[in-house]
Structure 1
Amino acid sequence: MATNSNMPDQEPDHLSALIQALQDDRRWLLRHLDEGHWSAFRLDLAALERELGQLLEFCEARTESG
């Protein structure tokens, strides 16, 4: 994966805010799944939630390491 060396200095702040917002959305989804919402789609949404969590962990690690 190529990185853009011409990223503005504030880009990490925007990325961190975006990652945090997506983490919040992931937690919201998980909470609603645990409460029994969308039972017909539970397995698919739970898989999506897990994959999103893994992606966000990867993104957090990449932004922290520079």
Structure 2
Amino acid sequence: MLKNLSKKIVKSITADRSKEFYDWLEVEKALEIPFYFSDLGVPGQLGTNENNDGRIRLRYPKGIN
């Protein structure tokens, strides 16, 4: 999905240290943008991610696939 967006829009990715991002290096190479990780215990560094998660949870509560 991000590959189709302009590099002017997506300049970097910041993620938490969860197992979903195990292959982060492949993503970084494919998109040719830097991939960063937040510091442990500092969720404020993931503001956009946390905001989007909250919006998703309003529509799809936990436990729904």
Structure number, greater radius of gyration: 1
Q: TM over 0.5, yes or no?
A: no
TM-score (norm 1): 0.29
Bigger relative contact order (CA 8 A; separation at least 6): 1
Q: Which has the higher helix share?
A: 1
